[in-house]
Amino acid sequence: MDTRELHRDALVIDSHNDSIAASVSGGCGLGGPPTRHAGTGTIAQLRGAFPGRPEGARTQLDLQRMRDGGVDAAFFAVCVTRAWNNHAAYALDGFGILMAEMAADDRFRIARTAGDITAAKRDGAVAAILALEDSDGLERSLNILTALHALGLRSVGITHNPVSWAAAGADEPACGGLTSHGVALVRELNRLGILVDVSHLNDAGFWDVIAQTDRPLIASHSNCRALCSHPRNLDDRQIEAVAATGGLVAITFVPKFVSAAEPNLDRLLDHVDHAIAVAGPEHVGLGSDFDGGGTVIPHAGEYPALTAGMAARGHDEQAIRGVLGLNHLRVFRAVCG
């Protein structure tokens, strides 16, 4: 198997990055120089520079690195947890920054449907899916959700690690599950056709989402608790439950979710293997968490190493194409159209 040719030909979708905020805090652009207003908005005022990031340093995922690594589409998340009572403004600022980047480069497009993703691949462009990490960005208003859906929002993480208005995150294992607002939110996400992302939920919240959803779910950046006992990872019952909805678990590149002792590519591939063994190859994807801690793979330009690694472990072409992106495309089409 020529893995370089396979990777070039395959549809590659990454279901989580934090590159918008990182580009602001690093003073760099995702497609080139920073957009005109990138340093003056809500993210810039509330976050400032990331600790340890040199001014002007490139993000792990940008337009050129996506093209170099054969990444055809990525979920660009805005995590609003640290927005300190400015959650909706923070989310809108991030999405506006991304849209300004797209206005400056016609190789960069928002994808609202599965057809938009495949069309971008056909045209040699890169597709961006708008994602909200932590539903507090909606300020408890389902009307804001409707407006963001019209803007192009297609994935919502119910919470981040702490407690939100909708549910408790992985940092709060003893708290309850979905609140009444969280139940209404999951139902409205299903109705509108927006992906429900269960990464970051505590176990009680996870099982409440399973009970409420009537659409396929994603875990956009979570690994296997059987291999690495971290509360952000999913146990085998949870992986099976996500698969039973028709959804998928996307393996992430964050070292502490890969291995406490040896977080490297081989251990990352162990998680891919385990998720496939538990759920089947059609229910596994990849969600790097680039620019949010996903450093086992250095940057998006190194994505072909995953294809080579899966092939070396004996996965066939169909399974590899599924994990790289076709599984995400199927779920996206089922939920978003």
pLDDT in tens, 43-61: 888 876 555 555 557 999 9
Structure confidence at residue 314 (pLDDT): 97
Task: Assess contact for 21 and 52: CB atoms under 8 A.
Answer: no
Structure confidence at residue 43 (pLDDT): 87
CA distances from residue 290 to 20, 86, 197, 300 in whole angstroms, order as listed: 11, 24, 17, 8
In CATH, what class is 3-336? alpha beta
Please report how the helices 236-244 and 265-279 are oriented relative to each other, as an axis angle in degrees rounded to 10.
60
Q: ∠ at Cα 107 (78, 98), nearest 5°?
A: 20
Name 153's bridge partners.
130
pLDDT at 84: 82
Residue indicated by tokens 């992906």: 195
In sequence order, the 6+-apart residues with CB closer than 8 A to the CB of 301 are: 64, 65, 68, 69
Per-residue pLDDT, 242: 98
Structure tokens at 204: 């009680």
pLDDT at 292: 96
C-alpha separations of 24 from 27, 49, 97, 254 in Å: 5, 8, 9, 21
Give the 3-state DSSP-derived string for 202-228, with helices as H, strands as E and coil as C: CHHHHHHHHHHCCCCCEECCCCECCCC
pLDDT value of residue 49: 57
Q: What is the pLDDT of residue 92?
A: 97
Q: How far apart are CA 175 and CA 204, in angstroms?
A: 8
Q: Where are the chain's structural domains?
A: 3-336
What are the residue ranges in the chain where pLDDT is below 70? 48-56
- Geometric angle at alpha carbon 216, from 212 and 219, rounded to 5°: 95
